[in-house]
């Protein structure tokens, strides 16, 4: 069974009421945050780097209708309170990142590669994201845009 992580863009859209994708993303996040696997655990995981990037983006003043840092912290805490598995970088993060980078021809995808390395090292083989093209070529990942 494929286990999925969620990318930052979906969390931002779900919490940014000005986004054209807000309602679809909100409904999707609510749905997957209520799906459990056969052991009764949430089937979705959240990487720490996604949660940190969410805090950064959703409070960014250039964003139309950013939310305040205290509210953003509450949002992240509410996710943590659900018991969602939060995955972290492993000790071999750099080795995996370098291994993946060797398959690319550009440095523009550095943070996507770092996220992919975290997923790979944690045995997560799926990613929900709107930016599916950013993760093309990562053969170990099933990448799905749930908003289409």
* Per-residue model confidence (pLDDT) at position 64: 87
* Per-residue model confidence (pLDDT) at position 1: 72
**For residues 14 and 48, what is the distance between their CA atoms, to the nearest angstrom?**
18
* Per-residue model confidence (pLDDT) at position 29: 97
pTM over 0.95: no
**Tokens matching residue 147:** 């908003």
Average of per-residue pLDDT across 23-31: 97
pLDDT digits (tens, 9 = 90+) for 54-84: 999 999 999 888 999 999 999 999 999 999 9
**For residues 110 and 104, what is the distance between their CA atoms, to the nearest angstrom?**
10
**For residues 88 and 18, what is the distance between their CA atoms, to the nearest angstrom?**
30
Q: Which of 18-22, 33-37, 107-111 has the lowest mean pLDDT?
A: 107-111
Domains and CATH numbers, the chain: 4-144 (3.40.50.1010)
Rounded to the nearest 10 degrees, the angle between the axes of helix 8-15 and helix 22-32 is: 110
pLDDT digits (tens, 9 = 90+) for 88-136: 999 999 999 999 999 887 776 889 999 999 999 999 999 999 999 999 8
* Per-residue model confidence (pLDDT) at position 2: 80
Helices (H), the chain: 8-15, 22-32, 48-58, 69-81, 93-101, 110-121
Q: Which of 16-25, 33-42, 52-61, 138-147 has the lowest mean pLDDT?
A: 33-42
């Amino acid at each position: 069974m494929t286990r999925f992580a969620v990318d930052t863009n979906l969390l931002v859209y779900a919490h940014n009421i000005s986004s054209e994708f807000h309602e679809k993303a909100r409904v999707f996040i609510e749905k997957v945050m209520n799906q459990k696997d056969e052991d009764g655990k949430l089937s979705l995981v959240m990487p720490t780097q996604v949660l940190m990037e969410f805090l950064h983006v959703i409070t960014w003043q250039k964003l139309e209708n950013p939310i305040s840092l205290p509210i953003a912290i509450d949002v992240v805490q509410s996710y943590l309170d659900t018991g969602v598995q939060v995955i972290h970088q492993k000790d071999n993060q750099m080795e995996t990142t370098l291994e993946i980078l060797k398959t690319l021809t550009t440095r523009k995808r550095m943070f996507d590669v770092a996220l992919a390395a975290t997923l790979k090292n944690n045995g997560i083989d799926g990613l929900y994201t709107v930016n599916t093209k950013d993760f093309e070529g990562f053969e170990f990942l099933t990448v799905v845009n749930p908003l289409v």
